[in-house]
Structure 1
């Protein structure tokens, strides 16, 4: 299964560690992390996944694969800017949102449009997003929604 981990590009240390823990747990369960490929939550989730030998995909807003953070295994350059947010969601079977601002909110919207189960950790309070307290709860939720 692929899990899209979405969230802020600029975050504090606590959010960064939550994202790393989430990426680590997703990878430990044998799933691939999909993200926007840049910094903040995206980089931390990829770092966590790589620490346990997981696989990562970064769907970049730019035209350069080299813009991906150092923990992305498969960088996908799109040149689409924020329009790539739909692709981040479409390339996951489920979504975990961590923190985030307007860009994350668009990805939450795409998650609902594309009928992806979505767990939220300290993120937008939107109908259809399962609020979770811990990364473990978020991973369990998306797995259960997909029968994994």
Structure 2
């Protein structure tokens, strides 16, 4: 494994090749929290307009760091998944199988399932990407991230998950995982993105969520029955990787190979 190379540039997203980052100010709040906090009077004129420049710089650095990673799949899952557990091993297998298909693995860069997918990709010789986020509780980039970008703002980070991936594989997870999953489903439903496979791993975990959508949301008429078909449900890493590859990622890999050869 190569020696750590870190960027200490202040301000915008920190791009790193290896390292752990802390982006919480001394008052214990995050940039997202300060941005969303309501202010009375004219105080915002001294702060919010300048945050626009910081937000812009996060997008610019993210685009610059990720624009040439090639075909990629974003892998989501709980930060609380324990190393050595069945769920962790599934994450490792997902990362390994994607890397063997010459597909980069993008995660949130943290522990648990994210670490597992990064580990599988790195050990298989693939590109292992982590998109970190500042939180009140420090996590830092896991040791298996090969290319990392640290963000202050969730919305800038979430853009990168979709823009530079050709599909999602979602392991069991919590609120953050649900947030990323449902945003992807909305983008597909509204045709903001096309040919974008979304695969859930873990029938026992995810089926109650899908059943609730079918039996409550569809019955209430707030979503269409075909919206549930946006996602595929499987129980193994092999099935998940096969589905995303068949969902358009394989063609992206072939096009990328041709581009390199030319």
- Asked if these proteins are the same fold (TM beyond 0.5), I'd say yes
Unaligned runs of 5+ in 1: none
| Corresponding residue for residue 79 of structure 1 | 152
Deviant stretches of 4+, over 4 Å: none
For residues 25-73 of structure 1, the C-alpha deviation after alignment (integer angstroms, 9 at most, x for no partner) is: 000111000010001110000001111101011111129xx92111111
Structure 1 residue 83 displacement after superposition: 6.8
CA distance in 2: counterparts of 1:40 and 1:86, whole angstroms:
22
Q: Does 1:47 align with 2:119?
A: yes
Structure with the bigger percentage of helix:
2
Structure 1 residue 102 displacement after superposition: 1.1
Rg larger in 1 or in 2? 2
CA distance in 2: counterparts of 1:144 and 1:28, whole angstroms:
15
TM-score (norm 2): 0.52
| Corresponding residue for residue 137 of structure 1 | 239
Structure with the bigger percentage of strand:
1
1:8 to 68, 78, 87: 78
CA distance in 2: counterparts of 1:40 and 1:49, whole angstroms:
15
Whether the 8 Å CA contact 1:4–1:35 is kept in 2: the answer is yes
For residues 67-88 of structure 1, the C-alpha deviation after alignment (integer angstroms, 9 at most, x for no partner) is: 2111111111111258734432
TM-score (norm 1): 0.89
Alignment of 1:25-36 (within 5 A): 25-36=97-108
Unaligned runs of 5+ in 2: 1-70, 189-195, 211-227, 251-262
Whether the 8 Å CA contact 2:167–2:249 is kept in 1: the answer is no
2:132 to 60, 64, 67: 60
Q: Whose relative contact order is higher, 1 or 2, with alpha carbons under 8 Å and at least 6 apart?
A: 1
